[in-house]
Structure 1
Amino acid sequence: MSRSDTPSYEPARSALLFVDPYNDFLAEGGKLWPLVKEVAEAQQLHDNLRAVLAAARAAGLPVFIVPHRQWVPGDLENWDHPSPYQLGAARHQVFAKGSWGAEWFPDFAPRPGDTVVKEHWGASGFANTDLDMLLKQHKVTHVILIGLIANTCIEATGRFAAELGYHVTLVRDATAAASPLALQCAHEINGPTFAHAILTTRALLDAL
């Protein structure tokens, strides 16, 4: 997308959705950090997340933290058909409630005025949560997605947002994936089928 095509983001109508800013994803020693580390470091992920978050706050955009379910013993027991994604998370006890891994990565912990959405059980931050209601109550029409990971929770949340009628922006270097190919597919093959804008951090900062 060229600079001239970059949308504008009215603070009264736009929001930043920060998906899964947990230690397990973003910190050395996190259970999922080894999965994304190579791509995250190549993307300068942490620096870009800090930059986008700071710019959104400075521009007056509300920040919504969109967290994954924190695992507790008994999750998925007697479920009819949990997904492979859910089974894997339960097997490794990802984001286990009360653990260090389920704490917010310190740089991205919610601040007063931020909204923490109810936890999502699958990949979409909208399915079985209060995210859509909260956005509508804040009169939000444009959502900007950052966080982890590009081809699962970011993509699923973005697709669901588009289906619900939101204007969706992906930030290609404020996310990561398990491989460069997965990241490329998320932004060059799948993203253009639902996202209204796919920007770099630099382009988004200019727009904000």
Structure 2
Amino acid sequence: MAFASPALSHPHIFAEARVEIVATDDGMLKELRNVWRFDDIFSSSVLMDFDKNSDLKLDHGELSEIANTIRDSLGDYSYFTFITKDGASSDVAKPEIFNVDFKDNQLLVFFVAKPKTPMKIGGRMTIGVYDPTLYTAIDFAKDEDLVVEGKPFEACTHKVVRPDPDQVIAQNQSNLTEAFFNDPAGTDMGKLFATRLEVTC
């Protein structure tokens, strides 16, 4: 199962997402609670690949195998979770909570991401969930699908930023080289196209 493929630079997998960014009472970034719902075509391919007993259902063991496969696949891509504070990036720890389900012919992924190093809420923070290779499109249908929870965020302003792809391309024309199209992740330009939450405290 390939969730990220540097050979192609436009989406082949689509998911609707929601993320809850949670702070502790003492002002630390606690976790990001992610929910992804994948498109019917990709979900069907997962069912075909992992339905070992061919009963057109995914039992507990099959769902666990999918969850482990996805978690391992995303490890090289920071679990599609990107956190910065005052311009400095934070590494993301391997999620301990990572579950999948299959409902209404769609694959659902639930996982909790945490910064590898404790991070204090403050300054200018950016939180994004996206595939740096642009192979998977992570879509937040509504601004309310990126939310903050916890008292420390009450002293902060936050806004959802949705870049205009045409504007991004126009502003970065010189960087859209053959290297970008062969390996978008290597250029770190995927973040320019990504919907993100900006928090300022």
Question: Do they superpose with TM above 0.5?
Answer: no
Larger gyration radius, structure 1 or structure 2: 2
Report which of the two has the higher share of helix.
1
TM-score (norm 2): 0.29
TM-score (norm 1): 0.29
